[in-house]
Structure 1
Amino acid sequence: MNLLLSAGFVLCWSSGFIGAKLGAGSASAVTILMWRFLPLAVVLAVLAWVRRAAWRRLSRRAAARQVAIGVLSQSGYLLTVYYAIQLGVSSGTTALIDGVQPLVAGALAGPLLRQYVSRVQWLGLCLGTGGVVIVTLADASADAGAGAGAGAGAAWWAYLIPFLGMFSLVGATFLEKRSRDRVDAVVALTVHCATSAVVFTALAVSTGAARPPAELSFWVAIAWLVTLPTFGGYGLYWLILKRSGTTWVNTLMFLMAPVTAVWGSLMFGEPFGAQTAVGLAIGLAAVVVVHRGDASSSTVRARNVDGARGVPRGQKALGRCPSASWQQGSRDS
């Protein structure tokens, strides 16, 4: 089940970069984002009314935290991604820059969440980062070459913008993991999307970009973005985060860049060469390494807990799943 969820998450999250590229030719970033979240907020509001019993358990403090998470994980993250693509950074490169997130999250997991990151997992994180660097250099070089040939390309500073989005998503992840409140998944998604709808509508109206274009491609991109990245990618992100922990969900981010690069190559003719293929292989290897490190460290921790409880060596404590000790650190923080 975890593997299926992880595969679905990678595909749906990667589809967001492709959807941004689809809409970039017909409207500005804030226009796309406004019309992505306005209808979504209405649909979720209706669903919230149907499931209004779940809202009674939402305290003011928890609601405020969810608003902050929505601002960071959706408004801040998506605006930087869409703006970078609008400036000419390819969808693959944008995803590749976001791929640095696992190393940042891994470095902060210990001091902020008191989550154990083993040596094997650190090896996987560094390996994945190396793969990201390889493909980023290849894709950025191709962008520069195409820009020089056509007379137009992304400015050097445009490549810094996705880093802001990466840090925004990391901040949202740690803010959620440090929370002791149990918030219903649909309630959280509704708060996040409603917050983003307000933020992007305000931005679009204030900049005169609220009116949507009449082009069919725009609405195709909106339908794409509402269905795949939001319900699929964003929903699965928080589900996997709760089930498997911060390091695993962020390790899957290593796969976003190469998957997006392949997808962008097939749909938009974006460059995909041998260097990108090497980065894809390294990213896959990083996921395998971190997964094995997570399983082995959980086994060691379970044995230590069993020994402390007086359970004979070789016997497992009943009711403990492989990821239980990993998630326990988050709940205790």
Structure 2
Amino acid sequence: MVLSWSAGFVGVRFATDYAPIFLILLWRSLVSGLLLLPLALLAGPRMRGKDVLQQVAFGALAMAGYLAGYSLAIAHGAPTGIVALITDMLPLAVALLSWPVLGQALSARQWLGTGLGVAGVLIASAWSTGHTDTSAWVYLWPVLGTTLLALASLLQKRSASGAMPVYQSLCIQCLSAAVIFAGFAWHEGSVLPVLKREFIGGILWLVFIATFGAWGLYYLALQKFSPARVTAILYLSPPVTMVWAWTLFQEPLSWAMALGLAVSLLGVLLVARAQKPGH
């Protein structure tokens, strides 16, 4: 799950050199949903209208909101590794939102962990903004996307439709996200795919590795374990993403990024260890 989750950031970074960001997200979501549609309709239990509508809402929050958040940041020049670091503050967002959504108040250790996590992101991001032309406001996009994914994860865990097979829920969420992305892609100029080898290859990478691999495994894990435990594992993806981005795109690595990563990791570990069993 960590490797395929990291592949999503790398795939978006690669594809942005060949097409506008919402066109990429449109075809990633549409192809994923259409490939899953026959399986969802023929091989799974009968889908009730109420459950479908819930998955549409989760798709708008988790799939569309999260993907658009970090993809827009990458498209506007934010370093891929820093974006991965921000989005993988997901355990902290889950812990913070567990209070209003699930009624689980944060302990002192969780508050400390959250503060350390944010401090680590600020350390790494401060270095990045000083060494790139990226505006500071761009980093708000992945913050918003991560918050929406955390909210959707908690609501899906609480929802009865969470028992729906992963391939059905993923199909519905991908197709609902594709509808949203189609509107933005049309506003950007076109919804037609770019008939170039690089664009097609990038979309296939995002469909089979970043969507079926990352999101499929994420939702399978979410059905078996707590949101805090599942999202804590994803924190292993920022260093993987940073190395990939340095190798493939010559994005810079620095001691400030390493320090920020270490401080944030300490915060995530504090939050995860303070989580009560079964939550």
Do they fold alike, i.e. is TM over 0.5?
A: yes
Matching residue of 2:7? 15
Matching residue of 2:144? 164
Gaps of 5+ in 2: none
Deviation, 1:290, is 4.3
Matching residue of 2:118? 129
Task: Give, as a single letter, the amino acid of the residue that structure 2 aligns with 1:187.
Answer: Q
Is residue 96 from structure 1 mapped to residue 85 from structure 2 by the alignment? yes
Deviation, 1:283, is 4.2
Q: Which has the higher contact order (CA 8 A, sep 6+)?
A: 2
Matching residue of 1:316? none
Task: Give, as a single letter, the amino acid of the residue that structure 2 aligns with 1:201.
Answer: A
In terms of mean alpha carbon deviation, does 184-193 or 206-215 score higher?
206-215
| Preserved CA contact (<8 Å) 1:248 1:290 | no
Q: Distance in 1 between matches of 2:94 and 2:142?
A: 16
Deviation, 1:202, is 3.6
Closer/same/farther in 2, CA of residues 35 and 226 from structure 1, 3 Å limit: same
Closer/same/farther in 2, CA of residues 287 and 94 from structure 1, 3 Å limit: closer
Is residue 252 from structure 1 mapped to residue 244 from structure 2 by the alignment? no
The residue correspondences of 1:22-41 to structure 2 (distance < 5 A) are 22-41=14-33
Q: Distance in 2 between matches of 1:49 and 1:62?
A: 14
| Preserved CA contact (<8 Å) 1:142 1:271 | no
Is residue 233 from structure 1 mapped to residue 214 from structure 2 by the alignment? yes
Deviation, 1:264, is 1.0
Q: Distance in 1 between matches of 2:267 and 2:203?
A: 33
Matching residue of 1:311? none
1:71 to 51, 60, 63: 60
Deviation, 1:137, is 2.0
| Preserved CA contact (<8 Å) 1:99 1:132 | no
Task: Give, as a single letter, the amino acid of the residue that structure 2 aligns with 1:47.
Answer: L
Q: What is the CA deviation profile of residues 82-129 of structure 1, one whole-angstrom value per residue up to 9, with x for unaligned ones?
A: 222212122122223324433232122123213465544444444333
Q: Distance in 1 between matches of 2:22 and 2:48?
A: 31
Closer/same/farther in 2, CA of residues 205 and 288 from structure 1, 3 Å limit: closer
SS in 2 for 1:25: coil
Matching residue of 1:110? 99
Deviation, 1:72, is 0.9
Q: What is the CA deviation profile of residues 198-248 of structure 1, one whole-angstrom value per residue up to 9, with x for unaligned ones?
A: 222343235432222233221221111111211111122222223221222
Q: What is the CA deviation profile of residues 245-302 of structure 1, one whole-angstrom value per residue up to 9, with x for unaligned ones?
A: 12222333433333322221121111111122223333444454445444xx43xxxx
Closer/same/farther in 2, CA of residues 33 and 99 from structure 1, 3 Å limit: same
| Preserved CA contact (<8 Å) 2:24 2:203 | yes
Matching residue of 1:262? 243
| Preserved CA contact (<8 Å) 2:69 2:145 | yes
Matching residue of 1:51? 43
| Preserved CA contact (<8 Å) 1:255 1:283 | no
The residue correspondences of 1:186-201 to structure 2 (distance < 5 A) are 186-201=167-182
Q: What is the CA deviation profile of residues 172-220 of structure 1, one whole-angstrom value per residue up to 9, with x for unaligned ones?
A: 1222122133222111111111112222234323543222223322122
Q: Distance in 1 between matches of 2:41 and 2:233?
A: 34
Closer/same/farther in 2, CA of residues 49 and 99 from structure 1, 3 Å limit: closer
Q: Distance in 1 between matches of 2:143 and 2:273?
A: 28
Closer/same/farther in 2, CA of residues 243 and 139 from structure 1, 3 Å limit: farther
Matching residue of 1:322? none
- The share of aligned pairs that are identical, in percent, is 36
Matching residue of 2:186? 205
| Preserved CA contact (<8 Å) 1:101 1:167 | yes
Is residue 173 from structure 1 mapped to residue 153 from structure 2 by the alignment? yes
Is residue 84 from structure 1 mapped to residue 73 from structure 2 by the alignment? yes
Number of residues paired by the alignment?
Answer: 278
SS in 2 for 1:213: coil
Q: What is the CA deviation profile of residues 11-49 of structure 1, one whole-angstrom value per residue up to 9, with x for unaligned ones?
A: 211211111100011100111112212222221112223
Q: Distance in 2 between matches of 1:49 and 1:65?
A: 17
Task: Give, as a single letter, the amino acid of the residue that structure 2 aligns with 1:36.
Answer: R
Gaps of 5+ in 1: 1-8, 144-152, 299-324, 327-333
Root mean square deviation, CA, Å? 2.3
